[in-house]
Amino acid sequence: MSEDMRYLTFALGKGRLAKNTMDLFEKVGITCEEMKDKDSRKLIFVNEELKLKFFLAKGPDVPTYVEYGAADIGVVGKDTILEENRRVYEVLDLGYGKCRMCVCGPAKAKELLKHHEMIRVTSKYPNIAKDYFYNKKHQTVDIIKLNGSVELGPIVGLGDVIVDIVETGSTLKENGLEVLEEICPLSARMIVNQVSMKMEAERIKKLIQDLRAFL
Ligand code: PRP
């Protein structure tokens, strides 16, 4: 690597997503030994040799870092990309973290979705919910934002249905809820800053190609 090469910075969504991402990156020669130290409290990790930097962030912040160029590349769930709606390029479906964005509720709520009734929707994803009900279904709804355990909404009577991620479906089942409508499939995606895509085209395109060939 030449001395004057600038660092490429990656923002990864914390948790299982970051672990899967580093496992995948390793397969195409993108490594970061520093990051494997579980006890480290460091926030940013460097591979001096390859001129790469990595940091972990809360999922919803990843598209923000990438839009403003604080990270050249981000890896985050499609749910977050849709919800945050930032000006970034989505370049690759990484295939893991597969799940679905759905409208869920008790079976009896199915009727409420058929007749364009005014209903209450609780969700961690108010923008996705808004887009689905207003633009796709043309149903006027009242959307209430929650920050987690969204399944509680219809159970305690805060709303009629929820818009949430369904992976195995066990959370729904254990709480007497079911999938009423499917909004879209989700998985981990790679996003790129729009300026970086031009300025660092060679390195970024090579990375995308290598990943694509591996996937
Ligand atoms: C997610 C999602 C559902 C659950 C779905 O919640 O919001 O609650 O996982 O998974 P399942 O279909 O396999 O049961 P998460 O655990 O991320 O926490 P949260 O409810 O606090 O958002």
**pLDDT tens-digit profile, the chain (215 residues):** 566 789 999 999 998 999 999 999 999 999 988 888 878 888 899 999 999 999 999 999 999 999 999 999 999 999 999 999 999 999 999 999 999 999 999 999 999 999 888 999 999 999 999 999 999 999 999 999 999 999 999 999 999 999 999 999 999 999 999 999 999 999 999 999 999 999 999 999 999 999 999 99
**What is the per-residue pLDDT for 43?**
86
Q: Are residues 131 and 58 in the same domain?
A: no
In a domain, residue 179? The reply is: yes
pLDDT at 1: 57
- Is residue 89 domain-shared with residue 195, that is, in the same domain? yes
* 136 and 88 in a common domain: no
Work out which ligand 1 atom sits closest to the CA atom of 165: 2
CA nearest 187: which of 94, 125, 103? 94
Q: Which residues line ligand 1 (CB under 6 A)?
A: 124, 148-151, 164-171
pLDDT, residue 99, reads 98
For residue 76, being part of any structural domain is answered with: yes
- Assess whether 86 and 103 both reside in one domain: no
Cα(164) to centroid(ligand 1), Å: 8
Q: Residue 209 sits in a domain of what CATH number?
A: 3.40.190.10
**Ligand 1 atom closest to residue 148's alpha carbon, by position in its atom list:** 21
User: Which residue out of 58, 164, 173, 183 has the highest number of ligand 1 atoms within 8 Å of its CB and is therefore the one to mutate?
Assistant: 164
Q: For a pocket test of ligand 1, which of 122, 163, 167 has the largest count of ligand atoms closer than 8 A to its C-beta?
A: 167
165 C-alpha to ligand 1 centroid (Å)? 6
190, burial (CB in 10 Å: exposed 0-12, middle 13-18, buried 19+): buried
Q: How many domains does the chain have?
A: 2
Q: In this structure, is the dihedral angle defined by the CA atoms of residues 183, 133, 148 and 40, taken in order, positive or negative?
A: positive
Do both 92 and 103 map to the same domain? no
Q: Whose CA is nearest to atom 2 of ligand 1?
A: 165
In a domain, 114, yes or no: yes
Q: Is residue 180 part of a domain?
A: yes
Phi first, then psi, for residue 28 (nearest 5°) are -110, 20
The residue type of 139 is Q
Q: Tell me what pLDDT residue 5 has.
A: 84
| Ligand 1 nearest atom to the CA of residue 164, by list position | 7
17 and 86 within one domain: yes
Q: Are residues 67 and 112 in the same domain?
A: no
Distance 147 CA to ligand 1 centre (A): 11
pLDDT at 87: 98
Question: Does some domain include residue 3?
Answer: no
Distance 122 CA to ligand 1 centre (A): 14
pLDDT score recorded for residue 115: 84
- Residue 2: its pLDDT value, please? 61
Q: Which domain holds residue 52?
A: 8-97+187-214
Q: Are residues 75 and 132 in the same domain?
A: no
User: Is 71 a member of any domain?
Assistant: yes
pLDDT value, residue 48: 94
Residue 133 included in any domain: yes
Q: How far does residue 146's CA lie from ligand 1's centre (Å)?
A: 13
Whether residue 168 sits in one domain with residue 204? no
Same domain flag for 59 and 132:
no
For residue 101, CA distances in Å to 56, 176, 212 come to 24, 18, 25
Task: Confirm if 124 and 150 have CB atoms less than 8 A apart.
Answer: yes
Looking at the fold, whether 71 and 148 belong to one and the same domain comes out as: no
Distance, CA 59 to ligand 1 centroid (Å)?
A: 14
Those residues with Cβ within 8 angstroms of residue 178's Cβ, 6 or more apart along the chain or in another chain: 104, 105, 106, 107, 172
Is there a domain that residue 2 lies in? no
| Residues 34 and 140 grouped into a single domain | no
